[in-house]
Amino acid sequence: MNKKEMILRMERKGVKPTANRLIVACELNNAKIPLSLADLTERIPQMDRSSLFRVLTFFLQHDVVDSFEDGRGIINYELCETEAESLHHENHVHFYCEVCHRSYCLRDIQMIDMENVAMPEGFVSHGISFVIKGICSTCKKSNGVKNSFSGH
Ligand SMILES: [Zn+2]
Ligand SMILES: [Zn+2]
């Protein structure tokens, strides 16, 4: 997605594409993986933490981004895939790598029918968040390389 597409996308969601908002949205788009506030602070040094947080909170309210808790209890943010304005959040699974502490979005993996989970009476669900913990493919590969040198 280029900058122009990002502007159009924000406008469709009723969000005014200010400079700061565009920087954050483009960074999340370029990263390809979900990012925490700390990740974003590192990647966008020109913005301070509180402005970043303000943009993210605003994005959450307007369905531009989605958030979920990773394996450490840290909030990760990612761009919403759905184009239309929606009240419910996308239900999908995330993977947390315990080695590189990166979160991955597993949108293509269907675990259960998350839309139809039975709720106790009077409870209304707006989304389900699943986090699978383990080792990602990159870390698994580099770990194998390290081991082969460990004998020296
Ligand atoms: Zn990893
Ligand atoms: Zn995701």
Distance, in Å, from the CA atom of 94 to the CA atom of 51, rounded to the nearest integer, reads: 26
Question: Do 55 and 24 meet the contact criterion of CB atoms below 8 Å apart?
Answer: yes
Q: Residue 91 Cα, ligand 1 centroid: separation in angstroms?
A: 23
Provide the whole-model pTM.
0.77
* Over residues 52-73, mean pLDDT: 92
- The predicted-structure confidence for 6-54, as pLDDT tens digits, reads as follows 999 999 889 999 999 999 999 999 998 999 999 999 999 999 999 999 9
Helices (H), the chain: 3-12, 19-31, 37-43, 49-61, 137-149
Residue 91: nearest ligand to its CA?
A: 2
Minimum mean pLDDT among 5-19, 51-65, 97-111: which range? 97-111
| Cα 83 to middle of ligand 2, angstroms | 15
CATH class of the domain whose range is 3-149? mainly alpha
